Amino acid sequence: MTKPGKWALLLFLALSSPAALAAEDTALHNPFTGRADIAAEGRTLFNVHCSHCHGPNAFQGLKRRDLRRLTRRYKARVANVFYQTATNGRPDKGMPSWKGVLEDETLWKIYTFLETVQKK
């Protein structure tokens, strides 16, 4: 097996390990779900930190990623996907990591706002 092939196999095995799968399957819980006061604060935080890429109030016009469709796309995994994306970023797509920049509480407040704008 070639050296790149070995690395690919090792990466696959690491990501397929029970610990990695369990971490992905553990559902995260938004501590602020359903709180209108927090959603309003989250909207302000979103517009300060996120709207330059994702549009004001999560309406992005010409951008490809419509954050109002997260629930449609990710269903029960939406909280996990949001948290992992916000904390780790998606450098290949231009999304920075907010880990160490925004506290978890701030991220969940932003998510609480996003919950209110999801399309059915």
Q: What CATH number has the domain bearing residue 102?
A: 1.10.760.10
With respect to residue 46, please indicate whether it lies within any of the assigned structural domains.
yes
Residue given tokens 């999304």 in the structure block: 95
89, 95 Cβ separation under 8 angstroms: yes
Q: What is the pLDDT of residue 61?
A: 65
Q: Using one digit for the tens of pLDDT, what is the confidence trace for 86-114?
A: 999 999 988 999 999 999 999 999 999 99
Residue given tokens 């209110």 in the structure block: 116
Residue 33, Cβ neighbours under 10 Å: how many?
A: 13
With respect to residue 43, please indicate whether it lies within any of the assigned structural domains.
yes
With respect to residue 100, please indicate whether it lies within any of the assigned structural domains.
yes
Domain that holds residue 109: 27-116
Q: Please give the Cα distance from 85 to 5 (Å, whole number).
A: 28
With respect to residue 109, please indicate whether it lies within any of the assigned structural domains.
yes
With respect to residue 18, please indicate whether it lies within any of the assigned structural domains.
no
With respect to residue 2, please indicate whether it lies within any of the assigned structural domains.
no
Q: Please give the Cα distance from 38 to 116 (Å, whole number).
A: 11
With respect to residue 94, please indicate whether it lies within any of the assigned structural domains.
yes
With respect to residue 13, please indicate whether it lies within any of the assigned structural domains.
no
**Per the structure, how many domains does the chain have?**
1
pLDDT tens series, the chain, 120 aa = 555 555 544 444 444 433 444 355 688 999 999 999 999 999 999 999 999 989 999 998 655 678 999 999 999 999 999 999 999 999 998 899 999 999 999 999 999 999 999 987
Residue given tokens 């935080």 in the structure block: 45
Residue given tokens 């006061």 in the structure block: 37
Whole-prediction pTM: 0.77
